[in-house]
Amino acid sequence: MTRICVIGLGYIGLPTSALFANEGYEVVGVDVNEKVVQRINEGVIHIEEPGLDEMVEKAVASGRLTASTEPTEADYFIIAVPTPIYEDKTANLDYVVQATKNLLPKLQKGNTVIVESTIPPRTISDVVAPIVREHGFNPDENDVYLAHCPERVIPGNIVYELKHNHRIVGGYTSEAAEQAAKIYENSVDGDVRKTDAVVAEMSKLMENTFRDVNIALANELSKIADDLTIDASKVIEMANMHPRVNILQPGPGVGGHCIPVDPYFIIEKAQESSPLMQTARRINDSMPQFVLDKINKLTEGIDSPKIALLGLTYKGNTSDMRESPALDIIKLLEEKAPGVEFKCHDPYVELEDHSFEHQLYTLEDALADADLAVVLADHQEFKEVMASTFTDNMKTPTILDTRNVYGESFFGVTVHSLTNLVNV
Ligand SMILES: NC(=O)c1ccc[n+]([C@@H]2O[C@H](COP(=O)([O-])OP(=O)(O)OC[C@H]3O[C@@H](n4cnc5c(N)ncnc54)[C@H](O)[C@@H]3O)[C@@H](O)[C@H]2O)c1
C-alpha cells in the first residue's frame, strides 16, 4: 500500500491527510505540536472547519490515519507547514526548511517530496533541492522526486474544495511532476495539471495577488466615492451590468493567511517590476484607518462614545483571526481613539483563545448602551439577528456595516456602510 507522510497538521495538512486516508492510502500525519498529535489520534480535531470532524473521525477509525511527532518512512512526503512573512515582508521559509530537514533521515531513493505550503518562486530549486542534495540525493537525476503542489481551498469550504478543485502539480523535473501527480489523480475529482515547479509556485501567488488587486480597486472606489459624495454601492451595481466587469465589494481590509501575505512573495523577488501589487497592498492595508475615520465621524460630539465591535475574524463563519483587519482596527482604536470605549463580540472566537487579549461579550452585552455597532465580519449569526436586538439594547441604534450584512433600511436601525452615502 502506498504510504504518505504529511508534515504539518493545520488547515491544509489535516484535511489533506484525511482525504488521502479515506481514499485508501496509509497516512501518517506529523506535527511538532504534541497536543495536536494526541487529539488527532483520538479522532478529535483542533480546528474549526465544517465537515472536517467527520472526515478525520472516519480516517482515524479506519486505521489508515495516525498522527506522530516524527516523520516515518513513506513513499510520498507532503509538507504543509506555515510560510509567514517577517516584519520586513519577506518570506519566512524556516518551517519549510525545518520540515524538509526533519524528513531526511526517512527519505529513500524513489520517494517523492511535495511542498504544498505556499512558497516564493524558485523555492523548490533554490531552497528544497539543495537540502536534499546535501543529504546525498540527486533530484536532477530523479533518484528522489521534488514537486510543488499548491493548495487553493477556501476555509469554510475546505472539505468540498479539497476533493473538487483543480490541482497544479509543478515538478522539479518532468518525471517528478508525473510521479507527484499520481496521488492527486487518484484522489481528487478536479483536473490535475502538470507543469514545472516555478510555474506552479508563481501561479499560486498570482491567484491571490489577482484577488488582492481587485479588492484594492473596490476599496479605492469606496474612498473616492466618499471624497466625491457618490454612492459607491450604486456605482458598483451599475458598472457590474457590463458583461465583462465585476467590481468587488469594499471591506475593512484584507485578512487571513494568504491574500495579504502571498503578494509579498512576488514583490520580494521583483521589487522594481511590481508597482501595482505594492500599491494594492498599501490600499488594502489602509482600510482599517478608513474604518476608524468613519467611527470617529459617526461618534463625533459624543462624550466617551461606546461602540460594539461585531466579528473579529478575517471573514464570516470562521474562527480564524489571522491577519484580521478587526485586530488592526482595535489597535488603532487603542492608539488613536483612547476616549472610545469598545466591547467585542464574535460567536466563533473561543474565550480560551489566548491569542486574543481582549474580553469577549455576548451580543446583547456588547450592544448594551452602545452609540455605534461596527460589523467587521459577515457571520451567518449576524444576518439572522433581529433589528430589535439593536434597538432594544443600544443607546442609539446605529450600525457601521463594513461587510454589507444589513440593507440600508433595517427596521428603526440606521445603517451606514463603506459604500452608501453616509453623510459623514
Ligand atoms: N489555510 C489556508 O486556507 C491555506 C490555503 C492555501 C494555502 N495555504 C498554505 O498552506 C501552508 C500551511 O497553512 P495552514 O493554514 O495549514 O497552517 P497552520 O498554521 O494551520 O498549520 C501548520 C501546522 O504545521 C505545524 N508545523 C510547523 N512546523 C512544523 C514542522 N517542522 N514539522 C511538523 N509540523 C510543523 C504547526 O504546528 C501547525 O499545526 C501555508 O504555506 C499556507 O500559506 C493555506
For 347-392, the pLDDT digits (tens) are 999 766 667 889 999 999 999 999 999 999 999 999 999 999 999 9
- DSSP 8-state secondary structure symbol assigned to residue 91: B
Distance (Å) from CA 84 to ligand 1 centroid? 9
Provide φ and ψ at 234, rounded to 5°: -70, -35
For residue 120, give the nearest of 171, 83, 166 by alpha carbon: 83
The cell numbers describing 28, all together, are 501518517
- Write out pLDDT tens, residues 119-160: 999 999 999 999 999 999 999 999 999 999 999 999 889 999
CB-CB contact of 350 with 400 (8 Å): no
234 catalytic per annotation: no
Residue range 31-55: mean pLDDT, rounded: 93
**What is the amino acid identity at position 74?**
A
pLDDT of residue 157: 92
pLDDT above 70 covers what percent of the chain?
98
Closest Cα to residue 281, out of 304, 253, 305? 253
Distance separating alpha carbons of residues 208 and 292, to the nearest angstrom:
26
- Specify the DSSP element, H or E, that contains 192: strand 192-196
- For ligand 1, the distance from its centroid to the CA atom of residue 96, given in whole angstroms, is 10
- What pLDDT score does 423 carry? 47
Domain architecture of the chain: domains with CATH? 3-196 (3.40.50.720), 205-280 (1.10.1040.10), 287-417 (3.40.50.720)
The whole-number average pLDDT for the span 269-280 is 98
> How much of the chain is helix, strand and coil, in % rounded to 5?
40, 15, 45
DSSP one-letter code for 4: E
Among protein residues, the one with the nearest Cα to ligand 1's atom 18 is 10
Q: What are phi and psi of 355, to 5 degrees?
A: -70, -15
Tens of pLDDT along 228-270? 999 999 999 999 999 999 999 999 999 988 999 999 999 999 9
Q: Choose which residue among 257, 320, 353 to substitute to test ligand 1 binding: the one with the highest number of ligand atoms within 8 A of its C-beta.
A: 257
In what helix (H) or strand (E) does residue 334 lie, and over which residues does it extend? Answer: helix 325-336
Pocket test for ligand 1, best of 151, 153, 211, 322 (most atoms within 8 A of CB): 151
Q: Exposure of 243 by Cβ count < 10 A (0-12 exposed, 13-18 middle, 19+ buried)?
A: exposed
pLDDT at residue 357, rounded to an integer:
84
Average pLDDT in the chain: 95
Mean pLDDT of 190-199: 98
Which position among 5, 194, 204, 343 bears the catalytic label? 204
State in Å: Cα 419 to ligand 1 middle. 35
pLDDT for position 424 = 45
Q: Which one, of 190, 195, 188, 176, lies nearest residue 76 by Cα? A: 176
Residue nearest to atom 35 of ligand 1 (CA): 8
Structural Rg of the chain based on CA atoms: 24
Q: What is the C-alpha to C-alpha distance for residues 326 and 304, in angstroms, rounded to an integer?
A: 21
Across 50-81, b (16+ Cβ under 10 Å) vs e yields eebbebbbebbeeebbbbeeebeebbbbbbbb
Query: Which strands make up the sheet holding 167-171, listed edge to edge?
Result: 65-68, 26-30, 3-7, 76-79, 112-115, 145-148, 167-171, 192-196
Active-site annotation holder among 5, 149, 258, 344? 258
Distance from Cα 250 to the centre of ligand 1, integer Å:
28
Q: For ligand 1, which residues put their CB under 6 angstroms from it?
A: 7-13, 30-33, 36, 80-83, 95, 98-99, 102, 117-118, 151-153, 155, 257-258
Measure Cα distances from 374 to 253, 343, 393, 421 in Å.
14, 10, 14, 16
Q: Probe ligand 1: pick from 72, 81, 102, 128, max atoms within 8 Å of CB?
A: 81
Cross-strand pairs, 408: none
Instruction: For residues 192 and 114, give the distance between their C-alpha atoms in angstroms, rounded to a whole number.
Output: 14
Terminal-to-terminal C-alpha distance of the chain: 65
As given in the structure block, the three cell numbers for residue 50 are 465544517
Q: Are 94 and 239 in contact (CB under 8 A)?
A: no
> In the prediction, which pLDDT does 318 show?
85
Q: Which of 227, 209, 390 is nearest to 284 (CA)?
A: 209
Q: Is 163 a catalytic residue?
A: no
Cβ atoms within 10 A of the Cβ of 200, count?
A: 27
- Residue 179, pLDDT score: 98
Instruction: Give me the mean pLDDT over the 23-46 stretch.
Output: 96
Q: Give CA 106 to chain center in angstroms.
A: 31
| Alpha-helical runs (H) found in 65-155 | 94-103, 123, 129-134
Q: Classify the phi-psi angles of 8: left when phi > 0, otherwise alpha if psi is within -120 to 50, otherwise beta.
A: left
CA separation for the pair 128, 197 (Å, rounded): 11
Specify the ligand 1 atom closest to the Cα of 81: 24
Q: Nearest 10 degrees: CA dihedral of 372, 376, 381, 386?
A: 30
pLDDT value, residue 420: 73
Please, are residues 85 and 120 in contact by the beta-carbon 8 Å criterion?
no
pLDDT tens, position by position, 299-328:
999 999 999 999 999 999 888 888 999 999
C-alpha to C-alpha distance for 194 and 67, rounded to whole angstroms: 30
Bin 304: left if φ > 0, else alpha if -120 < ψ < 50, else beta.
Answer: left
Mean pLDDT calculated for residue range 183-193: 98
